[in-house]
Copies of this chain bind each other. A is one copy, B any other.
Amino acid sequence: MKISLKKIILASKSIDRSELFKRAGISFEIFATNIDEEKYKRTFPDGIELVKELAKAKVVFAKNKLINNKENAIIVAADTIVELDGEIIGKAHSEEEAFEILKKMMGRTHRLITGIAVTEIKNPKIVLDSDTTFVEFLELTDEEIREYIKSNEWKGRAGAYSIRDKASLFIKKINGSSSNVIGLSMHKLYLILRKEFQINLFS
State A187–B137 Cα separation when bound (angstroms). 9
A interface residue count range (under 10 / 10 to 19 / 20 to 34 / 35 or more) = 35 or more
Please give the residue numbers on chain A whose beta carbons come within 8 Å of chain B beta carbons, in ascending order: 1, 20, 23-25, 133, 138, 140-141, 143-144, 147-148, 151, 163-166, 168-179, 181, 186-187, 189-191, 200-203
Q: List 26 A-B contacts (CB under 8 A).
A: A1-B141, A20-B168, A23-B164, A23-B165, A24-B168, A24-B169, A25-B166, A133-B173, A138-B191, A144-B200, A163-B178, A168-B179, A168-B187, A169-B189, A169-B190, A169-B201, A170-B190, A171-B178, A171-B179, A172-B187, A173-B176, A173-B177, A174-B174, A174-B178, A175-B175, A178-B178
